Structure 1
Amino acid sequence: MLNEFKEFIARGSVIDLAVGVIIGGAFATITGSLTEDLIMPFVGWIFGGVDFSSKFILLGSVPDGIAATDYAALKKAGVAMVGYGAFITAVINFLILAFIIFLMVRAVNRLLRKGPEAAAPTEVDLLTEIRDELRRK
């Protein structure tokens, strides 16, 4: 059983998947920072200085000693609320990440199409060249 496990782990696809997950996690952190630290403040500025990350609708009562406007404290206290600002931020983060992955896949597909196989002339191309050369002689 140990040998089978070693063979499974040694497969290229498993190792590639592990590398992809690790890089994806790091990339998600970068994308999260891009959204939260650069894009959302700009979006908030456009909408008149609104901080979307702390926008919410209270559904329950506010405990004593916690400000009704402190999203983090209310969330920590377990107050029922809808955090639509955090959701908007997560959606924008997802869209950015999905678009970047789309661009990466698109670039890889273009590179694969431009490989040596794609550059080789077809039989029709070769025959056309031969015909044209024979006509010239």
Structure 2
Amino acid sequence: MLKEFKAFAVKGNVIDLAVGVIIGAAFGKIVDSAVNDLIMPIVAAFIGHLDFSNFFFVLGAVPAGTAMTLDAMKKAGVPVFAYGNFITVAVNFVILAFIIFLMIKQINRLKGTAEEAAPKEEVLLLRDIRDSLKK
């Protein structure tokens, strides 16, 4: 069983997956920073602050002296329907997905120019066949 586990653990797919998860976590931090530190301030300058997290409905009795903020309501144990937080997360997701789309599109464009520079092996083989048939 130990041999099988060792064979599984050192397989290329498992190692590739581990590297992908680590790179993905680091890339996630970069994209999160790009959204929060670069994109959202620009969006906020044009549209206004996109934080709807304090939009909620109170579903229970509010204890006296409790501030009417989402954090205060949650700390007091008041049931709330926090639709604003969902809206904020959804807007951030759409912006994040669009940024990732643009990044992948740029990477694919750069890959395309590199692939066009070097002909594929099949093309080289077909050229050799064509040249030998001409002789």
Structure-1-length-normalised TM-score: 0.68
Letter in 2 for 1:80: F
**Percent of residue pairs identical:** 30
Letter in 1 for 2:88: G
Alignment pair present for 1:90 and 2:103: no
Match of 2:32 in 1: 32
In structure 1, the gaps of 5 or more residues are 132-137
Task: Check the 8 A contact 2:66/2:73 in 1, yes or no.
Answer: no
**Offset at 1:56?**
4.9
Match of 2:15 in 1: 15
Task: Check the 8 A contact 1:53/1:86 in 2, yes or no.
Answer: no
**Offset at 1:87?**
1.8
Match of 2:56 in 1: 58
Letter in 2 for 1:100: M
**Offset at 1:81?**
1.2
Match of 1:43 in 2: 43
Give the RMSD, CA atoms, in angstroms: 3.2
Structure 1 residues 105, 15: closer, same or farther in 2, change over 3 A? farther
Structure 1 residues 118, 103: closer, same or farther in 2, change over 3 A? farther
Structure 1 residues 75, 65: closer, same or farther in 2, change over 3 A? closer
Runs of 4+ with deviation above 4 angstroms: 105-113
Match of 1:126 in 2: 131
Structure 1 residues 105, 56: closer, same or farther in 2, change over 3 A? farther
Alignment pair present for 1:100 and 2:115: no
In structure 2, the gaps of 5 or more residues are none
